[in-house]
Amino acid sequence: MSKANEFKKWFSERMGHSDPLKLAKEAIEELECELKILKSCSGKLAFSLQRIGGTYDIADDMRKEMNNAIDDFLEIQGDSDIVIDSLERDAKRYRFLRQADVHSINNGGIFAGKTPDNVVLNGVDLDDAIDAAMGESKDEK
C-alpha cells in the first residue's frame, strides 16, 4: 500500500482532525487527480513525441542536404575564385599590352603587333584587330 493510501486509511478511521491534517488530505487528493490527468495525457504525449521524432528526422535530413549544398557551393566558389583570378590576370596583361608605346618595337619591350604590316598596336586599334581576328564585330561586344 502506498504512503498516500495509508494516510487516507488512517485519516478515515479517526475523527476530529486538525486543519493541517485536513489540508494534507486535500493536497493528496489534488495530486491524485493531477496524476490521473497526466496518465491520461501520456498516450497523447507518446504519440506527439513519435510525430516530433519523425519531424526531427525530416528536419535532420534537410539540414544534412543543406550542409551538402553549402559544401558544394563553397567548392564551386573556390573554383570560381581561381577562374576570376585568372581572368583578372589576363585582363591586367591585356591592359598592359593595350597601353604599350607604339615605338616599343624600336625601343624594346613587350608589345602587340600586326603582321605583315609590322606595326605595334595599342588602344582601340589593338581592340579592333583582336576582335577582327576572333571574328567579332563591334555590334557583338
Angle among Cα 107, 95, 86 to the nearest 5 degrees reads 125
DSSP conformation class of 105:
H
Instruction: Please give the Cα distance from 112 to 124 (Å, whole number).
Output: 12
Write the burial class of residue 104 (CB in 10 Å: 0-12 exposed, 13-18 middle, 19+ buried). Answer: middle
68 inside domain:
yes
58 inside domain:
yes
| Chain segment 27-48, per-residue pLDDT in tens | 888 888 777 776 777 767 667 7
What pLDDT is stored for residue 136 in this prediction? 63
92 inside domain:
no
Residue 139 has pLDDT above 60, yes or no: no
89 inside domain:
no
Q: Which domain holds residue 51?
A: 1-79
13 inside domain:
yes
Residue the block writes with cell 497523447:
44
141 inside domain:
no
Instruction: List all residues 6 or more positions away from 55 whose beta carbon is below 8 Å from its beta carbon.
Output: none
Handedness of CA 6, 12, 17, 23 (dihedral sign): positive
- The pLDDT of 53-66, averaged and rounded, is 72
* Grid cell at residue 115: 603582321
Nearest to 23 by CA among 1, 7, 9, 39: 7
2 inside domain:
yes
| Chain segment 76-91, per-residue pLDDT in tens | 777 777 878 888 888 8
Instruction: Please give the Cα distance from 13 to 25 (Å, whole number).
Output: 13
96 inside domain:
no
Count of structural domains, the chain: 1
